[in-house]
Chain A
Amino acid sequence: MLLDVLEERLLGGDDPIAFDEALAVAELPDAEVPSLIALAHRVRLARTGPGVELESIISAKTGACSEDCGFCSQSRHWRSPLRPEPFIDVAEMVAAAQAAEKLGSTEFCIVLAVRGPDDRIMQQVLAATEALRTSTGLRVACSLGILTREQAATLASAGVHRYNHNMEAARSFFPAICSTHTWEERRETCRLVGDAGMELCSGGIVGMGESLRQRVELAFELRDLGPREVPVNFLNPRPGTPLQDQPLVGALEAVKTIALFRLVLPGAVIRPAGGREVILRDLQALGMLAGANALIVGNYLTTLGRAPEDDLRMLADLGMPIGRLDPR
């Protein structure tokens, strides 16, 4: 009944899902998941079309981060097997981007483990952006942490197309996972990104111990920010971090969460991201049918992904063409 009502409203026009309705979706029993998938897929097709945007990412500066995000192996606060690495050689980054472009990626995101960029990092990122823009046809995205207004404007002027700054968790849950900066500081950077004219990419991590209500809160808080892209990460507990023994989210629950985000953010680029291999396992295609229209192809920042050819074959089997997705 709920899904029938939502279908009529969400496909019918500008009548967005309400918080209590989204919470009811999050609480649907597993038996209802096929119907939820069907609805999310129809909403996705109606609002964004059949295309899938592929992105590749690279850790351009790894580890030794000053922040204490409890999920992250790159924080210097935790004893992790990960060894810090300085800024990657630009030639190696360009070669990696060219390899990603050959796979079909249209976005390439430069990611640094920092609270925010200092002047030296800004210069390194600007040089890398220029090299990528002249050597590839990829759109360049960045994820450099907390920005000043001037830094956001500089990145936009340099041709950075999209900026990633995940809210990570609902406002009510964020203090449980990070104490070195606030949720409000993250939101401010997201606003600066939009003000500067870059597309905002902001999502979160599912499975850090939040309640279903807090998961829905995150989706609505993101909706208020109006991101072009919403990465939906699933916690893959990292050794040495405070969340290393956190139980994994179930595969069907993950599929349900993707669908939930589609219903709350019907026109966004919804990208199942880190952790999908561990959480969705054999249900990758169901994740795509549950409203996703993007993937990170290849490896992540510090962990490995699915073999790219497996994802490409899956998308071909699903009849989902890959390419750029521009706002409708």
Chain B
Amino acid sequence: MLTYITQRVLQAIPVLLGISVLTFLMLHLIPGDPVSVFAGDKPLTPERATELRHQYGLDRPLVVQYWDSTSRALRGDLGVGLRSQRPVLDSILEVLPGTVQLTLAALTLAAILGIGLGIIAAVAHGTWLDTAVMAIAMLGISTPVFYSSLLLILFFSFTLTWFPATGQGGPERLVLPVTALGLSSASVLARLVRSSMLEVLRQEYVTTARAKGLGPPIVLLRHALKNALIPAVTMLGLQLGALLGGAVVTETIFSRPGLGRLAVDAILNRDFPLVQGTVLFAATAYVLVNLVVDVSYATLDPRIRYR
């Protein structure tokens, strides 16, 4: 077990290093002089360019700049936003709870709905119910989050006036964004759970359990589901990326402050330190979360450790 964890952690290190190099290089990959990013609205005279270059350390060798920015990032210093003049990390931490709340709630919804519907479809294999669930899942996969969000607002906020359309705070403001965000992941999951459930139900040990005279619910929940859920757990970890991406759009539509909204605004304002900070933060978080998922998953299923 310990070997597996060590191995998995060691694998994550080069990826994290790569992410730090890529986000660092972003500034230098912009067409033109990187110093122009810091110039703001003032005209960039050669003297001012030299001054800014010195101020932001751009006159030093790239390696030194990278080392400097990375070691500072490790100490929690992601630089200062050009617009707000606030530390980037403060801006991120301020909006982070909103995004975490949104994605976790959507993940929970996706898990419950996706696994539930997947089981129903598998048990009702070949009937109209199976067809209906799979058709809905197909529709769910094909509807972009930004469209389902707008349709939900149109119907539940404007027509029925059940839920407020925008803003943060209170559970009633969370219902629509979470539903919009969770539906597509639920659809992906439902399709996966159905097919892995169908595969497991064909296994001999399931037949054995049935032959022993166990009732269908016990066979289904005790014997089949446990194994059918293994791919679903991996999928949940992977869906986190989709949900993070979806959060970028959802936060914009529902006017919720969050990491996605922060990144988009930073790009629109050409606030590069903030762009780099949010990308670095989100990518690192994603890698770490998937690391945790993988490790906890290996504890659940011993076979993974020996692969």
Do A and B share a complex?
no
Q: Chain A residues in contact with chain B, CB under 8 A?
A: none
Q: Chain B residues in contact with chain A, CB under 8 A?
A: none
